[in-house]
Structure 1
């Protein structure tokens, strides 16, 4: 099935038993879902397991999907529930940087000291550690907003919380990060 079909078309065909239609949805969202989970969980192995479980659950429960929500929001909600359930069993050890953009940032100045790349890597590691140390509810909104670029409404839909709660959690998370990261620049 070609990728130009809408999510709604793919869902309708998958509900009629056309496996290729659901495969299109998997191909469309697997990388984004994996990257979000890897950042949230801190483990690519755990992220892969959770992503696979989420797609299996989505396929099995496809008849319960309501078209009032976006498919990826529903899929992410399934994945986040699985991730939080998994996280209760074992707290992640690290936050992964699955986005190459932070590794390929050009320095502002052309005169680069030999220690600058090391300092930059240390700053990235410090930010990752600070995000990792956030409470689950704060880490979720930071990952979705700052790393995945979701808007408040999408975050509210994914996490099944009011938009006001998204705002307050994000405010608290940013305040926590600011406090933790202030020690890095001192």
Structure 2
């Protein structure tokens, strides 16, 4: 039985042969366990989740379309079981919006919105295209791609799981990237021609003490940048975090500092290298995270760099460069301003943020003064103790 191929064992398992199914699981269990352990971190939980995936695979093996792809099908079940387990855990993310530098803001904060049926159909079509492209890879390359990009395992971890050399894993990834690139570049270029870029301005910054997001609570202060599309009367809210929000606020209010901060330093480097910032584009929205592209003119050569939207927006404001948002992103996440409201975002949040910053600076100054006062008091106490000690020693010597 152990000499049979996966398709042969799958065929027998469909007929109710439990021994054949057990040989299938024995052959692929180590890979499944490695994936589960990587996702949940704990060995005992990973074992339970793999056991649950085994049961689901046994009950639904009739749904396997291609008998030669049992390994990827079974690993997919393991992934879904692990994701379901993670979703049910209560996890608090601390300043996650600052790490990502551009999270989608829940529309409930500003007004209800929902994706259009066309958008849902487009996402389903894109999913099918990606799935078809990945499935077109060879079995070994397909497994390697899923582990590296989907599960975010390292090359060394993949090498250990698949019992292959690191060189072999790198070779599979290189071949897979090339094949997928050839397949997707025409679709990407066609998509770029269809979807225009909308120029926006930073209309306001809103300070939010605590923000609740689906499945998590950000136990920290947050800041939302409001990108305003004046032509179509839409605004796009993006989480940028307090530090990035304060930096953007300083640029908008033209607040001068004694020493250059991060974005001023970045701007000075670009100018010294004779590099012009042509534009900033909020290019896409994936799993509630915005992705931006910075377009640079390097002495006639155009270079594009991936960036967090918060960093890209701050740099664009500092260097007087235009900011664009992909129309597809605007259609998905922007909020339409009702026609009966005449004015655009007022900038009131910007003043509130600067007031918050001044309050924090005053609190920090007061804290430093208290620390200095305590330090001075300790020094005076130590000086008194030293004087008394010296007097005691002097009198003891005389006695």
TM-score by length of 2: 0.25
Q: Give 1 or 2 for the bigger CA radius of gyration.
A: 2
Alpha-carbon distance between aligned partners in 2 of 1:32 and 1:57, rounded to the nearest angstrom: 17
Shift of 1:141: 3.2
Aligned residues: 114
Alpha-carbon distance between aligned partners in 1 of 2:156 and 2:86, rounded to the nearest angstrom: 21
Match of 2:76 in 1: 77
When you count helix as a share of all residues, which structure comes out higher? Answer: 1
Is 2:33 the partner of 1:44?
A: no
Shift of 1:81: 0.5
Contiguous gaps of at least 5 residues in structure 1: 93-137, 156-162, 176-186
Which aligned segments of 4 or more residues in structure 1 are displaced greater than 4 angstroms? Answer: 149-152
Is 2:66 the partner of 1:67?
A: yes
Is 2:147 the partner of 1:147?
A: no
Q: 1:40 to 1:139 in 2, by over 3 A?
A: farther
Shift of 1:145: 5.6
Match of 2:27 in 1: 28
In terms of mean alpha carbon deviation, does 42-51 or 65-74 score higher? Answer: 65-74
Alpha-carbon distance between aligned partners in 2 of 1:14 and 1:46, rounded to the nearest angstrom: 27
Alpha-carbon distance between aligned partners in 1 of 2:90 and 2:39, rounded to the nearest angstrom: 11
Aligned CA RMSD, in angstroms, stands at 3.4
Match of 2:216 in 1: none
Alpha-carbon distance between aligned partners in 2 of 1:68 and 1:23, rounded to the nearest angstrom: 16
Shift of 1:68: 6.4
Match of 2:5 in 1: 6
Shift of 1:3: 1.6
TM-score by length of 1: 0.52
Alpha-carbon distance between aligned partners in 1 of 2:158 and 2:90, rounded to the nearest angstrom: 21
Q: 1:61 to 1:5 in 2, by over 3 A?
A: same
Summarize the alignment of residues 89-168 of structure 1 with structure 2, pairs less than 5 Å apart: 89-90=88-89, 140-143=150-153, 147-149=157-159
Indicate the SS of the match to 2:48: helix
